[in-house]
Amino acid sequence: VTFVEIIARKRDGRALTREAIDFAVAAITTGTAPDYQISALLMAIVLRGMTAPETAWLTDAMVRSGDRVDLSDIPGVKIGKHSTGGVGDKVSIALAPLAAACGAIVPKMSGRGLGHTGGTLDKLESIPGFRVDLSIEEFKRVVREVGTCIIGQTARLAPADRKLYALRDVTGTIDSIPLISASIMSKKLAEGSSALLLDVKCGDGAFMRDRDAAQMLAEAMVAIGAHTGVRTEALITGMDAPLGNTVGNALEIREAIETLRGHGPADVMTLVTRIVSRMLVIGDIEPDQQAALARVQDALGSGRALETFARMIDRQGGNARVVEDDSLLPQAPARTEYAAPRAGFVTRLGAHAIGQASNVLGAGRARVGDRIDHAVGVVLQVAVGDQVQERQPVLELHHRDGRGLDEALALCRDAVRIEDAPPSPGPRVLGEVR
């Protein structure tokens, strides 16, 4: 079989064999397949689709294209978590220590922010001294001692995916459920967990704009997990408005700490406890959701979750006192409010525009390698459904000497809608796939 024959087969809408997929991924990894052939195959996959077995084989071949983290010598059930990314999504930071405090082992590799969404690594790096670039040995030691550790993805995990993703980005071949799901799952499976909980975001501030596409992506990923023997469940959660009240790196760390104290915003509390309780169930730590929820409440109420976070920070070189004294986190020197232009009900706080506003203040990066400002960001003063008076503060912008402020305020105007009638309330968790 040749690469051209594989392209032609997919072009004609036929399924590829496992051997053909293995051959293609090997050729991509070693560089023997030129980029122009790979991109032709990618476009054929985008337009012709892939069956569930093809998608699972692709995932498996991408996992095998690089190292797989071996966590077998760490006792306990290793449970991974992944979010498809949103605005204000600090769930992982609160969830990892909370789940660890409940007895789960949570080895987590995360990415950096790009575009309007933030990245877990960038947020953690706002903690003075925190290192995300641990070696695999250091990573495993922290996981063993603390029960959790969050580091950056290493280049040796799923290198075929890395190569494909870079090419998809510049050839209009991102939008494909099989390719997206195989990309996410190949990295997660390479991380070596034995169970996996996925948070598929859906809405204005997410990659998946509509509910049906999010459902399909969630189902595809759960099917890949089943195919490869890793118990996988997905929650589909709304991302029309930012999650919680803060957007921006240090601001979100503050909110994660509040959440671990049990005083986080309602939507963050709900999502974190829901996800952790599912993790405990799929990890066979608790037999059912109710028992799992009780364990989660105990870990929060007893302070063990916050204490676990402090230990994780400490083991990763960070200043653990931030959990008691948030003035140790970077703070922006200036604040400007965006006020309600009229009275009424807040019907929309557009996550995409608020994410961009935070970015232009300096919290995000436009391209890989840009420096970010950990202190700046946006604080939401109201929630969707709240009634506001004219000139009441809606958003508070934390900025550095006005950098990006005008653009951010313009984005806030796009983001906020106030109307006469209250919106119909929608749940944060839209569905789940098991």
Q: Does 21 bind other proteins (CB under 8 A)?
A: no
Strand-pairing partners, residue 150, are: 108
Nearest residue (CB) to other proteins, 43 versus 340 = 43
- Whether 140 is catalytic: no
**Cα separation, 29 vs 159, whole angstroms:** 7
Give SS3 for 112.
coil
**Cα separation, 196 vs 82, whole angstroms:** 8
Q: Considering the complex, what minimum distance in angstroms separates the CB of residue 110 from other proteins?
A: 27
Q: Does 305 bind other proteins (CB under 8 A)?
A: no
Nearest residue (CB) to other proteins, 5 versus 390 = 5
Q: How far is CA 163 from CA 34, 44, 47, 49, 183, in A?
A: 12, 17, 20, 20, 11
Place of tokens 């012709």: 48
Q: Does 141 bind other proteins (CB under 8 A)?
A: no
**Residue list 150-169, contact with other proteins (CB under 8 A):** 167
- Whether 315 is catalytic: no
Q: Which two tokens stand for residue 191?
A: 């991380």
Nearest residue (CB) to other proteins, 41 versus 223 = 41
**Residue list 32-51, contact with other proteins (CB under 8 A):** 34-40, 42-44, 46-48
- Whether 168 is catalytic: yes
Q: Does 177 bind other proteins (CB under 8 A)?
A: no
Nearest residue (CB) to other proteins, 43 versus 149 = 43
Q: Considering the complex, what minimum distance in angstroms separates the CB of residue 41 from other proteins?
A: 8
**Residue list 387-406, contact with other proteins (CB under 8 A):** none
Catalytic residue among 60, 122, 161, 240: 161
Q: Does 328 bind other proteins (CB under 8 A)?
A: no
Strand-by-strand arrangement of the 344-349 sheet: 387-388, 344-349, 416-419
Nearest residue (CB) to other proteins, 1 versus 294 = 1
- DSSP H stretches of helix in 65-210: 91-101, 120-124, 136-146, 159-169, 177-190
Nearest residue (CB) to other proteins, 35 versus 138 = 35
Catalytic residue among 83, 183, 194, 358: 183
Q: Does 429 bind other proteins (CB under 8 A)?
A: no
Q: Torsion-angle region of residue 203: left (phi > 0), alpha (psi -120 to 50) or beta?
A: left
**Residue list 218-277, contact with other proteins (CB under 8 A):** none
Catalytic residue among 9, 187, 254, 365: 187
Q: Does 7 bind other proteins (CB under 8 A)?
A: yes
List % helix, strand, coil for the chain (3-state, nearest 5): 45, 15, 35
- Whether 82 is catalytic: yes
**Cα separation, 403 vs 396, whole angstroms:** 15
Residue 410 burial (CB < 10 Å; 0-12/13-18/19+)? middle
Which segment (29-37, 226-234, 238-246, 388-396) binds other proteins by CB under 8 A?
A: 29-37
Catalytic residue among 9, 78, 81, 82: 82
Q: Considering the complex, what minimum distance in angstroms separates the CB of residue 17 from other proteins?
A: 17
**Cα separation, 363 vs 173, whole angstroms:** 28
**Cα separation, 157 vs 406, whole angstroms:** 41
Structure-derived torsion over alpha carbons of residues 393, 371, 35, 23, reported in degrees to the nearest 10: -90
- Whether 161 is catalytic: yes
**Amino acid making up residue 75:** P
**Which residues are known catalytic residues?**
82, 161, 168, 183, 187
Binding site for other proteins (CB under 8 A): 4-5, 7-8, 11, 34-40, 42-44, 46-48, 167, 170-173, 175
